[in-house]
Amino acid sequence: MHLVDATQSAIELDERSEDIFRQIVEAYLTTGEPIGSRSISKVLPNRLSPASVRNVMSDLETLGLIYAPHTSAGRLPTDQGLRFFVDALLNVGELSREERHQIEGEISSGASAVDDALNKASVMLSGLSSGAGVVLSAKQDLTVKHIEFVALDPGKGLVVLVGEDGTVENRIVDFPPGTPPSAFQEASNYLNAHLRGVTIGEARAEIDRRTVETRAALDELTRKLIEAGLASWSDTATKGPGTLIVHGRGNLLQNVGMREDVDRVRQLLDDLEANQDMMQLLSLTEAGDGVKIFIGGENKLFSLSGSSLVMSPYFGNDRRIVGVLGIIGPTRLNYAKIIPAVDYTAQVVSKLLK
């Protein structure tokens, strides 16, 4: 499995410090509670006195890896400490054959369309964690099945696009004054004869490539009609909010304690579901094709909620990133379990899209 953008810290720990730090992190990931020197001294492979453990803990605190909450004498890992643990100490294994089959079955079973599969992926990811399963599908450049030009008022017309997936969209476009009705029919016939099965971007590029042929086959008004119609889509076809699917928001609300934390998580989820800043999720993954992990304040979109984000992109036929999926959860996620599950889920969704 491939992790990307892991922050390789220059921090180096000796064996004793590593053992104690690992106990603090694992206690936090398991219980969410701080752990004290006396409890650590009892479980270390090489027994140390509580006083010796406290000395090491003091050094770890100086390094910024742990801190003491004001309500307890124990210690918790900082966001920086969790990042160091994930990057340097976490053992991420591979999923078993049974676990892979389970993921494949849950996503593929009864999925009659891509949206069904993405919805099932979100539900499945939520069930794996104490967080929310998130799937973002970027708005795609439709593949053309049929284009129709329809005259409306003088100087205006309607362009209707039918995609291969059954999607129907339309645009009202300004056309050269005096464009005859025959030009609308001629433009429709020409595009449907030459450009079926390509995307809008490819259609525009093909029309540009066919400049000489188009000029010979069509009059000037029809050519301008085609150019205006295609331009109305090509500037916006791959832009826009896309589709966001979130399942398990209740998990996040159950895993925060203080009222202000509940309010922050609720605001985060409301912002996501209102499509605010959600395209940041997609941009976070564009630099590579592996799992990306953001902990606490490392990502401004989630820093206020004290959440972690484990995400992986999924791909279309041309290996172009068409969306991201993963889990938003408390910083004490079971990273060893979540990371390979998110990675394999993205692989399954990519295969379905192909």
44 vs 236: which has the higher pLDDT: 44
115 vs 26: which has the higher pLDDT: 26
Predicted confidence (pLDDT) per residue in 147-189, tens digit? 888 888 888 888 888 877 777 778 888 887 778 888 888 888 8
Distances (CA, A) of 334 to 9, 31, 284, 297: 21, 11, 21, 18
Predicted confidence (pLDDT) per residue in 39-68, tens digit? 999 999 888 999 999 999 999 999 999 999
Binned at pLDDT 50, 70 and 90, residue 109 comes out as: confident
Residue 20: per-residue pLDDT: 96
* 77: Cβ contacts below 8 Å, ≥ 6 apart: 21, 24, 25, 28, 65, 66, 85
* Range of lowest pLDDT (143-157, 180-194, 232-246): 232-246
Length, in residues, of the chain: 354
Predicted confidence (pLDDT) per residue in 315-340, tens digit? 877 677 788 899 988 888 899 999 99
* pLDDT tops 90 at residue 129: no
Mean pLDDT of the chain: 80
Say how far apart CA 308 and CA 297 lie, in whole Å. Answer: 9
DSSP 3-65: B-S---------HHHHHHHHHHHHHHHHHSS-B-HHHHHHH-SS---HHHHHHHHHHHHHTTS
The model carries a pTM of: 0.69
* pLDDT tops 50 at residue 79: yes
